[in-house]
A and B are shown apart, each in its own frame.
Chain A
Amino acid sequence: MSGTTGNIALLERTLAQAKAENRAALVGYLPAGFPTVEGGAAACTALLESGCDIVEVGLPHSDPVMDGPVIQTADTIALRGGVRIADVIETVRQAHAATGKPVLVMTYWNPVDRYGAERFAEELAAAGGAGCILPDLPVEESDGWRKAAERTGLATVFVVAPSSRDERLATITAAGSGFVYAASLMGVTGTRESVGNEARELVTRVRATTPLPVCVGLGVSNPEQAAEVAEFADGVIVGSAFVKRLLAADTLEAGLDGVRELAASLAEGVRRG
């Protein structure tokens, strides 16, 4: 934790603080521009004000191959609304400025590559962003991005999966920073009835390779699941369940109430674990 500078340090301090409180951190996800650019920024801020320790802001993509129907729907709404990368950066800026908490971007590699990795990293860091998660950028292809991220003080969070072999886990975690994103199951994003033992086993294998905190995502939607995952992970990541609350609401205000309520109950869940 010590010696790191830049926005990544805030992310590391936040995760260390949760650990010091003997609990898992709560990490929320929402796409920028959903339901509108302003509404999305308000929702990300609401997450951080209501129990999330960290927020991942999604940069919507036309072809979200790793997302289930819920986040696909949100991405489509955001893109039809004309969301641009500048809006994503602005969402990060507002959510971070309003709360002082760490905010990352999660997206696919092509938008970042096309925008320019250097330019994207600089603008994200200048907006107070703490890092980036690029699930379809494998470690072997990540040199260019990682140099840009290191230079600008951003974390590069890699995703690992139950199918990752041990030697590969070591390679990935050695290249990553901030935390490790452990996918709880084999599948795309979305809420699930249960988060199985695969996640626990994966976290154990990841810990054998790295001192980085390990946060678990995919499928977690309620306080009971959050508590279960919090028993063995350093952070619990929730995305689709928040998106569902916004999708189900008739008005933005009702949607914000919905995500606040969910964040509060999940925050209670991670303290139970």
Chain B
Amino acid sequence: MPSDYFIPDPEGRTPDATGYFGAFGGKFIPEALVAAVDEVAAEYEKAKADPAFAAELEELLVNYTGRPSALTEVKRFAEHAGGARVFLKREDLNHTGSHKINNVLGQALLTKRMGKPRVIAETGAGQHGVATATACALFGLECTIYMGEIDTERQALNVARMRMLGAEVVPVTSGSRTLKDAINEAFRDWVANVDRTHYLFGTVAGPHPFPQLVRDFHRVIGVEARRQILERTGRLPDAVAACVGGGSNAIGLFHAFLPDESVRIVGFEAAGNGVESGEHAATLTVGEPGILHGSRSYVLQDDEGQITEPYSISAGLDYPGIGPEHAYLKDSGRGEYRPVTDAEAMRALRLLSETEGIIPAIESAHALAGALDLGKEIGPEGIVLVNLSGRGDKDMDTAARYFGLYDGEDQGEGA
């Protein structure tokens, strides 16, 4: 019997056998990693065909993670969205506080099946790192997390959580000292330790099969949300919205709605200080096709293929690449991708906190800011479904400084 919680793409539409979503994807990796990546792909195919795998994952998702996650209508927040109804898919209520646990538990089970005793992962905001450290504690696996030095500072709470969970956290000091560089360092570790190590990749980027298998483990978000919104409103939403860094929470929500032509698919990427400022992470807005971290997708790069340093107040969106399936959805026209600035995201973060009693992650606040605009565009009869991908505890230091909450001199809408 098929699982309600492990729901790989039932139609097998994408990617193709070589890992391509249209012109994007593939497997651009050093030869030393080919055998390991092929092993992951083969093990995933075996797991998909094994009912015991789905059963074990389902047990964890229900009794450990707390799925299904709630769908919350936010009426006071929606008063600022042109009167449209706004629903939040509450991935922030999952154990560990974000959607990341969905993929992590799936890959942790794959790690066990492959017989590897050690897991490494990259993390930006720390949510993937915390989820990975959590699963490693649960399964008794060694765990090393690579995190850009800048991110270890702005997400210090999550560094402490990972260490509390028994993981080694390695601050990465190369390059822009953010997520991109953490991924570089994780790949270097993997090449050297591949025999006994699984790289538990945290987003829908990277070489095939990661964009596919990470998506499949997150598909549950959209499948649940689609069922919940139909039950609650009797119809499909006009738009589904999510923030995109690498794009895992977004593809998780979007995928179940792709066949529903009436539903707009809208991703919001980090525009930092504004796209025209040059200080942003708006990969799909201004990037061009290129290769980063093992696959072809849109990339922020210069005219000679050097990756340019991204910027966002949100560590989880501060990434110059994007999952190849999002590049495919953009080019095919099925998906829309828009930039949201730091200031817009922080305003939305504050608004949701004050109107609904829900403090979102800064990442998710980008989607909330976008939803305010979408609601106004769609109008009073509209329904917008937003993925609230994570909770904001980790961001309290950044938010408190931004709004001047520590010294009592509240800056209102922020500096």
List chain A positions with a Cβ less than 8 A from chain B: 61-66, 68-69, 72, 76, 79, 84-85, 108-115, 135-138, 140-141, 158-165, 168, 172, 183, 186-188
Contact = CB atoms under 8 A, between A and B. Distances in A.
B291 A110 contact: yes
Contact of A160 (B28, B31, B187, B293): B31
Given A113-B291, A114-B305, A183 B31 contact: yes
Contact of A183 (B32, B195, B304, B305): B32
B301 A114 contact: yes
Contact of B27 (A65, A111, A140): A140
B292 interface: yes
A172 B31 contact: yes
B34 A188 contact: no
A186 B290 contact: no
Contacts of B292: 63, 110
A86 to B, nearest CB: 9
A163 B32 contact: yes
Interface residues of B, number: 35
Contact of B35 (A110, A112, A163): A163
Contacts of A140: 18, 27
B36 interface: yes
A65 to B, nearest CB: 5
A139 to B, nearest CB: 9
Contact of B30 (A112, A115, A136, A172): A136
A138 B307 contact: no
Q: Which 7 A-B pairs rank lowest in CB-CB distance, beginning with the nearest?
A: A114-B305, A111-B305, A161-B32, A187-B192, A110-B305, A62-B306, A163-B35
B189 to A, nearest CB: 9
A114 B307 contact: no
B18 A114 contact: no
Interface of B: 18, 26-32, 34-36, 174-175, 180, 184, 187-188, 191-195, 290-294, 299, 301, 303-308
Contacts, number: 107
A163 B184 contact: no
Contacts of B30: 65-66, 135-136, 159, 161
A63 B192 contact: no
A141 B26 contact: yes
Contacts of B193: 186
A113 B32 contact: no
Nearest to A88: B304
A183 B33 CA distance: 12
A138 B175 CA distance: 25
Given A110-B292, A110-B301, A168 B306 contact: no
Given A63-B292, A111-B306, A114-B304, A163 B194 contact: yes
Given A110-B290, A168-B34, A62 B175 contact: yes
A21 to B, nearest CB: 30
A68 B31 contact: no
A68 B188 contact: yes
B29 to A, nearest CB: 6
Contact of B191 (A85, A164, A172, A188): A188
- Interface-central residue, A72, A84, A110, A160, by most chain B CB under 10 Å: A110
Contacts of A64: 184
A163 B34 CA distance: 8
B31 A138 contact: yes
Contacts of A113: 290-291, 305
Given A163-B35, A183-B32, A61 B306 contact: yes
B180 A115 contact: no
A95 to B, nearest CB: 21
Contact of B304 (A111, A160, A165): A111
A65 B184 contact: yes
B31 A188 contact: no
B88 to A, nearest CB: 35
24 contacts: A62-B307, A63-B292, A63-B307, A64-B184, A65-B184, A65-B293, A66-B191, A109-B28, A110-B291, A110-B299, A111-B304, A112-B305, A114-B290, A136-B30, A136-B294, A138-B27, A138-B29, A158-B31, A161-B30, A164-B34, A165-B35, A183-B31, A186-B191, A188-B188
Given A63-B292, A66-B188, A111-B305, 15 more contacts: A62-B308, A63-B175, A63-B293, A65-B187, A68-B188, A72-B174, A79-B306, A110-B290, A110-B301, A113-B291, A138-B27, A141-B27, A163-B31, A186-B194, A187-B32
A156 to B, nearest CB: 14
Contact of B303 (A63, A65, A114): A114
B191 A115 contact: no
Contacts of A62: 175, 306-308
B311 to A, nearest CB: 15
